[in-house]
Amino acid sequence: MHDYIPVINYINKLTYVEFKNINKYYELEIEETQLEVVYRIIKNNIYALINSNYHRILYNYIKQKTSTSTCLKTEKLISEYHFYFKPVLNI
């Protein structure tokens, strides 16, 4: 029923190093300087991540704080968050 709860718990515990490993493992190619900004945005906006009605707002915020290129690289990460932020993910 609430399959997003494990994802919320996972993201709440997610460290920057783990997020960096996700970027590397899935070859998202987000630049290091931008990666920390994206990490903080995701950590502070979990509800917007799990609710697809807010994805456009999240994209715009990432674009505003980083760059268009970084925003484009995060689109798949955000739209398929349940794939990238799995509690069973061992990287």
**Mean pLDDT of the 15-28 span:** 93
* φ, ψ at 45 (rounded to 5°): -135, 50
Task: Please check the confidence at residue 87 and state whether its pLDDT lies above 70.
Answer: no
User: What is the rounded CA–CA span in Å between residue 38 and residue 41?
Assistant: 5
Q: pLDDT at position 1, please?
A: 40
Confidence of residue 7 (pLDDT cuts 50, 70, 90): confident
Count Cα atoms within 13 angstroms, Cβ side, for 89. 22
Query: Where do the structural domains in the chain lie, given as residue ranges?
Result: 5-84
The torsion of the CA quartet 30, 33, 90, 45, rounded to 10 degrees, works out to -90
pLDDT bin (cut points 50, 70, 90) of residue 70 is very high
Q: What are phi and psi of 4, to 5 degrees?
A: -85, -15
